[in-house]
Every structure is written in C-alpha cells, then in structure tokens.
Amino acid sequence: MEQTLREERLQALTVAYTEKNQLQNKSWVVAALMATAGTFTEIFSTTMYLSLLPLVYLVFDLPFRLEKRKILARYLSSDQVTNQSLLWLGIQFVLYGSLYTVILETKEMSIWKIALWMLIVLVPVYYVTDWLFKKIARSGDPDFVSDKEIYANVKEVEE
C-alpha cells in the first residue's frame, strides 16, 4: 500500500526526532549533573535559574527544529515553512514570557504557591497557543503533523 504524503512526512519527522533526540538526551545528562551539583544555584538566584531552564530546552531542541525545517521544505513552499517556523518561535516567546512573568511575580511566595500559579496561568496559555498553532498551520497545510503526533509515533516505534 502506498504511503500518503502525511504518513511519509510523519515517518521522516519521526526518524529526525529519534536521531536528534539522542544528542538532546546526552546534553540533558550534562545539564542535569550540573544542576544536581548545585552549580547553577550557586551562581544564579532561584528566579534566574528557573527562568533559564526553558531556554536550555530550546537550545537542545534546536537541532530537531532545524532538521524539521529541512524536511518540511520538501513538502511545502519556503513561505509556508518560514511562516510555520516563525509562528512556532513566536509561541515559544509567549510561553517563555508567561513563565518568566509568573516567576517574577511569585518569587517571594512558597514553592507550592508558585506551582499553583504556574498551573493557573501556564496550562491555559499552553493549550490556547497549541490550539492556535495547529489551527493556523493546518489552514495552509492539510498534511500538517503536530509535534504531539511525532512524539506519539516515536513511542510507538520504540515499543
């Protein structure tokens, strides 16, 4: 049976994620060791440390994002690829800005109150931005494959 373009794209993105995730896993081990050793907490305040974690993730996710962009370029026009990439980047800034705002506004509170405010503010912001990204991306790309679908396919392949 012949693969559809969507299935072909999902397969290519799954392979790219699996390959790039190996690099990310190794890098996270180093970051985890440094955090465990207390290196960051001695250098930075807790607020600064918490605000750097998403940036560290984005840096480690960059190889997959660049590979994803190359794969999408095979299926979409360069304008569509650029629009999807810029939209994803803009949403990351919104999420990071929301996290940073919550951290700054709650820095004097207990860890439980900080966690509660993160849940109250960040969970709805995440779901709204995720929905918005998918809606806009699907409007110009009927074969759009979301990151969640890629991660689910990776788990399925690994089993």
Domain boundaries, the chain: 5-158
Of the pLDDT bands very low, low, confident and very high (cuts 50, 70, 90), residue 86 is very high
- Whats the size of the chain, residue-wise? 159
Average pLDDT, the chain: 81
Question: Lowest-confidence range among 69-73, 85-89, 108-112?
Answer: 108-112
Dihedral sign from CA coordinates of 34, 39, 44, 50: positive
Of the pLDDT bands very low, low, confident and very high (cuts 50, 70, 90), residue 89 is very high
pLDDT at position 39, please?
Answer: 57
pLDDT at position 7, please?
Answer: 85
Contact 64, 20 (CB under 8 A): yes
Q: pLDDT per residue over 53-74, tens digit each?
A: 777 777 778 888 888 899 899 8
Contact 87, 133 (CB under 8 A): yes
pLDDT at position 22, please?
Answer: 60
pLDDT at position 145, please?
Answer: 87
